[in-house]
Chains A and B, each alone.
Chain A
Amino acid sequence: METHRDDMGSKIGMWLFLLSEILLFGGLFILYSSYRYKNPIDFHLAAWELDRVLGTFNTLILITSSLSIVLSIFFVQKGNRRLSGLFLLATIFLGILFLGIKYVEWTAKIGHGLYPNSPRLLGRSKGEILFFGLYYSMTGLHGLHVLIGLFILSAMLVLVMKGKINEHRFVPLENTGLYWHLVDIIWIFLFPLFYLIT
């Protein structure tokens, strides 16, 4: 039987998967909003301790990486695989940069003795323990998604260079783009919730 190919079907499948991703983070947003409602002052104080400059910088990095993956798709559709690969490479670089900054942030916090179950954190008020518990689990889960995204992006880069992804067949790259944008959107919400609202 001829292998049947349905690009629209693949895209629908990807979107449905992303919807379930949204609700995966949604569970955490339910917790965040409930705990914030109950401990507004503790959340206010704890948020001051996060590095707003690094957070802003990371936001800009992710937004820019979203642009670069969109351009990568744009160029592969136009048949320019070289530029497409270049923009993919840029996306991967920005993703790594994001994780690097996240690493610096986390190590600084841990260096200050602020990590889950640390004696210093347990000595603080309960709302602050919750804030940092949520901070580590939400940015951690998000970071995990970035990491997985980096692996998929690298695979896509190989496929683009080999010509397996080209102007006639680019749905895998489009779907990767969708995933990467969703990771961006999640960060667009995480950033103000943890760094800005004080």
Chain B
Amino acid sequence: MKNRKYRTYILVWLALVILTGITVSMAGMDLGLLSIAIVLIIAAIKSGLVLSYFMHLKYETGLLFKLMIPIVLAALTVFIGLTFSDVAFR
């Protein structure tokens, strides 16, 4: 158990480094809107890894810990979405 946790951290770090490598090399290709989407998805995966392993969200119990991030993401999405209902249709 002890060493496993240790190893998990290093594996997560390795994954983060690899994902960084992928985004940087992806950025060279010109895929238009798709490249924005890919870059953002990779950033989301990276932060998901940091949140669940480094920040221990995966190991916390309780409804509050499960709901926190979805609540914030929902708030942010709705704020941006409603702002775009103006910006994109003006």
Binding site for B on A (CB under 8 A): 12, 15, 19, 22-23, 26, 29-30, 33-34, 37-38, 52, 56, 59-60, 63-64, 66-67, 70-71, 74, 78, 177-178, 181-182, 184-185, 188-189, 191-192, 195-198
- Judge whether B39 and A56 touch: CB under 8 Å: no
- Judge whether A188 and B50 touch: CB under 8 Å: yes
Number of A-B residue pairs, CB cutoff 8 Å, is 95
Minimum CB distance partner of A16 in chain B: B68
- Judge whether B79 and A70 touch: CB under 8 Å: no
Known: A37-B84, A56-B20, A59-B20. A26 touches B76 (CB 8 A): yes
- Judge whether A178 and B55 touch: CB under 8 Å: yes
Minimum CB distance partner of A178 in chain B: B55
How distant is the Cα of A21 from the Cα of B64 in the complex, in angstroms?
17
Indicate with 1 or 0, residue by residue over B34-51, a CB within 8 angstroms of chain A CB atoms: 011001101100110011
- Residues from chain A with a CB closer than 8 A to the CB of B12 are 67
Interface residues contributed by chain B, number (CB under 8 Å): 39
- Judge whether A67 and B13 touch: CB under 8 Å: yes
Could you list 9 further interchain pairs (A-B, Cβ under 8 angstroms) beyond the known A15-B65, A196-B26? A30-B80, A33-B80, A70-B54, A71-B6, A78-B2, A177-B54, A197-B36, A197-B39, A198-B27
Known: A56-B20, A71-B9, A197-B27. A185 touches B50 (CB 8 A): yes
Selected from A26, A38, A52, A60, the residue in CB contact (under 8 A) with B87 is A38
- Judge whether A67 and B50 touch: CB under 8 Å: no
CB distance from B66 to the nearest CB of A (A): 12
- Judge whether B24 and A196 touch: CB under 8 Å: yes
How distant is the Cα of A195 from the Cα of B24 in the complex, in angstroms?
9
CB distance from B22 to the nearest CB of A (A): 11
- Judge whether A66 and B50 touch: CB under 8 Å: yes
- Residues from chain B with a CB closer than 8 A to the CB of A22 are 72, 76
- Judge whether B24 and A197 touch: CB under 8 Å: no
CB distance from B30 to the nearest CB of A (A): 8
